[in-house]
Amino acid sequence: MLNFDDKTAVAVSGGKDSVSLLHILAKIEKKHPKASLLAITVDEGIKGYRDEALKIASENCDELGIKHVVTSFRELYGFTLDEIVERLKRKGESGLTPCAYCGVLRRKALNTAARNVGADKLATAHTLDDETQTILLNILHGDVLRIAREKPVTDEAHPKLVQKVKPFCEIPEKETALYAYVRRIRFQSTPCPYASEALRNDIRQMLNRMEEKHTGIKFTVFKSMERIRPALEQIVKKEGLKECYECGEPTTERICKTCQMLRELA
C-alpha cells in the first residue's frame, strides 16, 4: 500500500481507529527517512462533538511530532453540517440522511486537502468491520458496482484524485481498540450525534453475531469480495471519469454529487 518515499496523509477523525492508525504509521515512518506523514482532520461543524475530536486529534499529532491540517465544511462549502441538517429539516422532503450528505462532502474535503499538501497517498482507518459492513450495505442497497470502486487501494483513476489506501482493511475493530487501550492512546469515544445509519447498524449487529458463532466469517466476506471484484471492475471501467461542470472535480456524471447536494441546499 505504501512506498518507501511516499508522502502520506492520514485522515484522522479522533476516534480509536484513526488515532491508532496514526500512531502505527508514525512508528513505521521513522524507519523510512524518505517517507513523510501528516494528518488531516475534517471539521464538519457538529457542535459539542467535533470540537472535542479536533482537540484529541491535534494532541496526538503534537505528541508524535506530526503536522496537522484542518479543513472545514464551512470554509469549503459555506455550510456547517449543523446548518445542513437544519436546512434538511426545514425542507422536509429529502430522503437523504445527514450521514449521506456528510459522507459525500467529507470524501471530497479529504481528497482536496490531501491534494493541496501534495500527498501521494491518503490513508483512512477503515477496519475489517467497516469494509464487510460496506460490502453488505452496498448489496442490500442494490449498489453493487460501488464495491468495485471502494477497495483497499484505489486506482490512480484521475490526476485530481489522491490514491486512497486502507491499511486496517484486514484488522478487526476489536484489535484497533485493543491497541489504543494498551498503548494508552487518547481518543474520542462519544459517537456522532447524527449517526443514524439504521441499515448499517443492523448489518453490524448481524455480522458480530455471526462472527461469534462462526469465527472468521468477516474475513470470508472480505476475501470473497476481493475475488469477485476484478469481474465487477470490468463493468465499471466502461463508465470513465469526467470533470464536474461546476467545480472541475472528477465525477462519473456531468455534475458531481457534492455540487448536486449543495445546489439542493442553496
Applying CB under 5 A, which residues contact Zn ion? 244, 246-247, 256, 259
123: which DSSP letter? E
> Nearest approach, Cβ of 92 to Zn ion (angstroms)?
25
206: which DSSP letter? H
CA-based nearest residue to 121, from 180, 53, 38:
38
Strand pairing report for 36-43 and 7-11: parallel
Identity of the residue, 76 or 185, whose beta carbon is nearer to Zn ion in the bound complex? 76
Report d(CA 266, CA 261) in Å as an integer. Answer: 9
Identity of the residue, 35 or 262, whose beta carbon is nearer to Zn ion in the bound complex? 262
Identity of the residue, 83 or 246, whose beta carbon is nearer to Zn ion in the bound complex? 246
Taking the CA atoms of the chain, what radius of gyration do you get in angstroms? 18
Identity of the residue, 108 or 204, whose beta carbon is nearer to Zn ion in the bound complex? 108
> Nearest approach, Cβ of 158 to Zn ion (angstroms)?
13
CA dihedral 135, 112, 119, 195 (to 10 degrees): -40
94-128 burial code (b ≥16 CB/10 A, e <16): eeebbbebbebbbbbbbbbbbbeeebbbbbbbbbb
> Nearest approach, Cβ of 249 to Zn ion (angstroms)?
5
> Nearest approach, Cβ of 245 to Zn ion (angstroms)?
7
Identity of the residue, 80 or 258, whose beta carbon is nearer to Zn ion in the bound complex? 258
> Nearest approach, Cβ of 255 to Zn ion (angstroms)?
6
